[in-house]
Chain A
Amino acid sequence: MYEKVTAYILENREKFYRLAFSYVHEREAALDIVQNAICKALEKYHTIRSESGISSWFYRVLVNESYSHIKKHKREIAVGDEAMPEEVYIEKALEPGEELYKKVDKLPEHLKTVIILRFYEDMSLEEISKATNTNLNTVKTRLYTALKRLKKFVMEVY
């Protein structure tokens, strides 16, 4: 089982990095999260019951590690500095889907996780339930809530 787990991790490392990056938006932090998740996962690999459970099991470790990192490194937002020159902000035209992507990015973590795992990582709701260690009904509720918040941006395209 150990070899299967490490093979799975190597094969899907880019997906893990993208997920971690979507939470922290910093390269080094995302690399740290992936690294720590792998170390923690390999400590507990013996808890996996079968090969089919490896994916949701590892995503659970990764999501938890991402949340821990965010909690630990909550940024203090600096109050405006009078000495700093005002920059002219030019809003560039958004690519299709970019507005929705940004809105997903701004969702609270628990809603964002469901959207990313469902629509970007193609996981089933059951897999998301295992990956987030939450009840299936809770996953459905969160998905519904997230889609409601995003509805404006999804509907506008149609």
Chain B
Amino acid sequence: MKTFSEARKIYNSIEIPDELENVVKDAIERGKEEKRRATAHVPTRAIMRGSLAACAVLVLAIALNFITPFLSPEVSDTAREDAVNMPKMMRTVQDFGINETLRDEAISERVERAKAHYGELVLKSFKDADLNAKNIEITADCHISYESADILSFIVTVKDEKHSLTPREYYYNIRLSNASDITLRDFLGDNYEQKMKFAQNAATPQNAPLKDGDGTESASSEEAFYINERGNAVIVNAALGEKYEIEK
């Protein structure tokens, strides 16, 4: 459009201040510094050694607390104090980012799982699996769709770099406190099937028949889903290429 191109020239003539470059570079530097600080932690092995040691001491402290009254009715105040203070060591390990390690390990484990599964699918698609095993290069991208203090939801997109096969998405939802997988039932409650049906029907075009319980596959708590930035579940039906959102 002619007039828009003229308006665009005016837009493009907005004067750029000299300090913009420095402002941008400073912001990027600050971002790098924050990244360095956020990822700086005691090396994993040290944390594991530290946490194992802390666990051992805690167990010992608990045992001592249990045993010593039988050994001697008079337990020194110092020993009691030490036993009470023991958990601090666990908190110190927490401060070094043990939750972050748990999170990262949970992500890594599932990324590897997704890659292994996809690799098997790729090999199955070739006639000569042995020959082509060396010729596949599986890579994965991880996108975090939702993260809170206790829940992490992410999508792993896996593809074979050497062949033009369709990439595949894997959806994971984890409870960070124990790195366990969250099912739809866990996330939406016992009436998850009802919520799914309602959302699915709302997403269906107006003229299409409504889905009901007769003759249709019953909803499973193991349905693929992820949690979006609004904290809602998004059910994925890869076969139909459908996604629909369920408000929590």
A residues bordering B, Cβ < 8 Å? 2, 6, 9-10, 13-14, 17-18, 21-22, 27, 31, 34-35, 38-39, 41-43, 46-50, 95-98, 100-101, 104, 116, 119-120, 153-154, 157-158
- Check B149 for interface membership: any CB of A closer than 8 A: no
Contact: A95 with B10, CB < 8 Å?
A: yes
- Check B12 for interface membership: any CB of A closer than 8 A: yes
B171 to chain A, nearest CB (A): 13
Which chain B residues in 103-160 approach chain A with CB under 8 Å? 141-145, 155, 157
Residues of A within 8 A of B3 (CB): 96-97, 100, 153-154, 157
CA distance in complex: A42, B31 (Å): 6
- Check B8 for interface membership: any CB of A closer than 8 A: yes
CA distance in complex: A97, B16 (Å): 21
**Contacts A18-B11, A50-B141 given: A43-B34 contact, CB under 8 Å?**
yes
Contact: A35 with B26, CB < 8 Å?
A: yes
Contact: B155 with A14, CB < 8 Å?
A: no
Closest 5 pairs between A and B when the two form their complex, measured CB to CB: A97-B6, A42-B31, A38-B27, A101-B7, A49-B143
Which partner residue on chain B sits nearest A36 by CB separation?
B27
**Contacts A42-B35, A47-B144, A100-B4 given: A18-B24 contact, CB under 8 Å?**
no
Main DSSP-derived SS at the B contact region: helix
Q: Say which residue of A34, A101, A119 sits within 8 Å of B1 (CB atoms).
A: A119
- Check B17 for interface membership: any CB of A closer than 8 A: yes
Residues of A within 8 A of B12 (CB): 18, 120
CA distance in complex: A48, B141 (Å): 9
Which partner residue on chain A sits nearest B146 by CB separation?
A47
CA distance in complex: A101, B14 (Å): 12
Residues of B within 8 A of A120 (CB): 4, 7-8, 11-12
Contact: B30 with A34, CB < 8 Å?
A: no
**Contacts A48-B143, A49-B141 given: A38-B10 contact, CB under 8 Å?**
no
Which partner residue on chain A sits nearest B9 by CB separation?
A97
Contact: A34 with B20, CB < 8 Å?
A: yes
